[in-house]
Amino acid sequence: MSEIPSVRVTTVFVALLRRDIRVAMKELPFFLLRTVMQPVLFLIVFGFLMPKMGMMRGGYQTTLLPGILAVSLALSAIQSVALPMVQDFGWTKEIEDRLLAPVPTWIIAAEKIVSGVIQGVIAALFVLPLARLIMGPIPNLTFGHLGDILVITLLGATTFSALGMWLGTGIAPQQIGLMFSAIIAPMMFFGCAYYPWRGLDAVPVLKYIVLVNPLVYVAEGMRGALTPEVPHMPLPASIGALLAISALFWAAGLRSFRKRAVG
Amino acid sequence: MTAIYTEGLRKVYPLAAPKRGGRPAGTPFGPPGAAAPPVAVPGGVRELVALEGLDLHIQAGEFFGLLGPNGAGKTTTIGILTTRVLASAGRATVAGADVINDPVAVRRRIGVVPQRANPDRGLNVIENLIFHSAYFGIGRAEATTRATALLEQFGMGEKAAEKVDALSGGQQQRLMIARALIHQPDVLFLDEPTVGLDPAARLALWDVLRALHRQGRTIVMTTHYMEEADQLCDRLAIIDRGKLLALDTTTALKAKAPGGTLIDLDLDGPAAAAATAVAALPNVSKAEGIGATLRIQSSAGGRIISAAIEAVEGAGRHVKNITLKEPSLETLFIELTGRKLG
């Protein structure tokens, strides 16, 4: 038998990532439509129309912007992983050629999560200028704390990308609609994206219940990084919570992937 | 040199208690839908034995066939050997690497053609080959050269930039073979590669496989087509319900086929009484009733049929249908398993 040289894991990882980027580039318009449509519509209604009608107090844009970025990041990171997983493990079994790549199975899952992180960041970067365009100048917005912005963005994206892996490999294809209405929608609305966590002082029970929702920490973390002047959850708390939740989702996602990949 | 070695390979799928509206989540090489009936074990846990202690020894350069009906355990065997299914017990090595302890080394040495073509639909035809090569560490330039050559060889040179959905079933299957070959594996696995292909595409695929065999590649193929196994394979393992029933060269297996012609008479009721009557006829070496079917082994071909029909009517039954089979792998298979293929 011929001596076959072993392939470096990083080489295979990069090849898998290149494949995902190639496929994502091919359907970029659909990707953006799928992931940024909802946040943009929300921006138009709550960040432009309602303030115009005088129905929003001044400064709401400052609350809304970080939240909208968090939602875009979360939605796109989840979907970039969950949808292909549901499809690849479902009817088409397209993932087979990647599962036969000569690397440990968990590497293939980890690569997919990383590709979800990249797509989440792209969606957020796409929404940011649109938000500025739709809402006009946003008081108190600063890009001075670039380090904080980067940490929250990457942590938020990896948390939701790993959640996408967990959901995408754990949910039957016919229940994908349920994922949106039963998991993603409540997460968006109780994620302190459209209102600050502090605002929930008005409904104390809810204020503590929503703490199980990772979106809360991304939204509040974005506030801490982008609009630090406005009251928000302490940044270290957001970062700590995201680290813990993301570790949990990674473990669950990799485990669930393995269960589907190896019978 | 040994290409594949298995010892006591066993696979049991636990069956979850039936869920409301749910179905067990299958894996790509998971339990076949029409597998052996689930077995209830003490404690109320139901399980499905897909493979019951399989021992195989396949030489390098061999064209080896796994023959059996749906649910026999063929796909599970391929699944274990290609590292996609975890064996419940036993051991297996492929190209010298252990499938359980060193799956990565196995993957490096094998190419797999699945039962149903599963190209990467996000990529076009040649990208399917180039990216697959990249997963094996082959650089883009080299991969492009190999991919172009393979597509030419399989008569799809002009399809390189097409979407995979534009390919016919036969072309998609050939793309799967090209993909399985592009990283130059030691062992090629094909799981029912010609299912769903029209006769012309099937013959074309046979030519491709014969050519690969001539180049000295080890090929393991599952099939439930007798003719395919007979035409292509050096050696055959006949398996059913997870057990190995026979293993030999195709010629030797055919020599083992039960003597004479196999005649099946379908009756209008249980065939047991008629079987006793027919067994007493001259030139009948064996007659048995299987439900409403009377199975006769005749050493005088079809000439015993009229006497057999008379005997059947004498036993109070009527013949509704008659089937004749000359000695072949198929009659051997029926003898071994009691059921027909496919």
Positions of chain B with pLDDT under 70: 16-45, 258-259, 340-342
Average pLDDT estimate for A257-261? 93
Paired tokens of A159: 């948390």
pLDDT value at position B202?
85
Chain A residue with minimal CA distance to B83? Answer: A262
Question: Which amino acid would we find at residue B118?
Answer: N
A97·B132 Cβ contact <8 A: yes
- Asked if A75 and A115 count as a contact pair (C-beta separation under 8 A), the reply is no
The distance from CA A2 to its chain's CA centroid, rounded to whole angstroms, is 45
Using alpha carbons, select from B329, B82, B303 the residue that is nearest to residue B225. Answer: B329
Paired tokens of B149: 């050559």
- Asked if B284 and B238 count as a contact pair (C-beta separation under 8 A), the reply is no
Distance between A24 CA and the closest CA of chain B, angstroms = 9
Chains A, B: CB contacts within 8 A come to 116
- Asked if B40 and B209 count as a contact pair (C-beta separation under 8 A), the reply is no
Q: Report yes or no on whether pTM surpasses 0.80.
A: yes
Interface with chain B: mutation pick from A100, A167, A255, A260, highest number of B CBs within 10 Å: A100
Range of weakest confidence among A21-35, A70-84, A241-255, B54-68: A21-35
pLDDT value at position B35?
44
Which of B25, B96, B127 is nearest residue A172 as measured by Cβ atoms? B25
Chain B residue with minimal CA distance to A103? Answer: B104
Enumerate chain A positions whose Cβ falls within 8 A of a Cβ in B.
1-2, 4-8, 11-12, 15-16, 18-19, 22-23, 26-27, 89, 92-105, 172, 260-263
Bigger pLDDT: A24 or A59?
A24
Paired tokens of A123: 């969606």
pLDDT in tens, A134-184: 998 888 899 999 999 999 999 999 999 999 999 999 988 888 888 888 999
Chain A residue with minimal CA distance to B88? Answer: A263
- State whether the Cα torsion A98-A100-A103-A105 is positive or negative: positive
Q: Quick check: A1 pLDDT over 80? A: no
Tell me the β-bridge partners of B56: B6
Which residues make Cβ contacts (< 8 Å) with residue B227, sequence separation at least 6?
A: none
For chain B, domains (ranges, CATH) are 2-119+167-255 (3.40.50.300), 259-326 (3.30.70.100)
B107·A102 Cβ contact <8 A: yes
List the domain boundaries for chain A: 9-261
The distance from CA B317 to its chain's CA centroid, rounded to whole angstroms, is 37
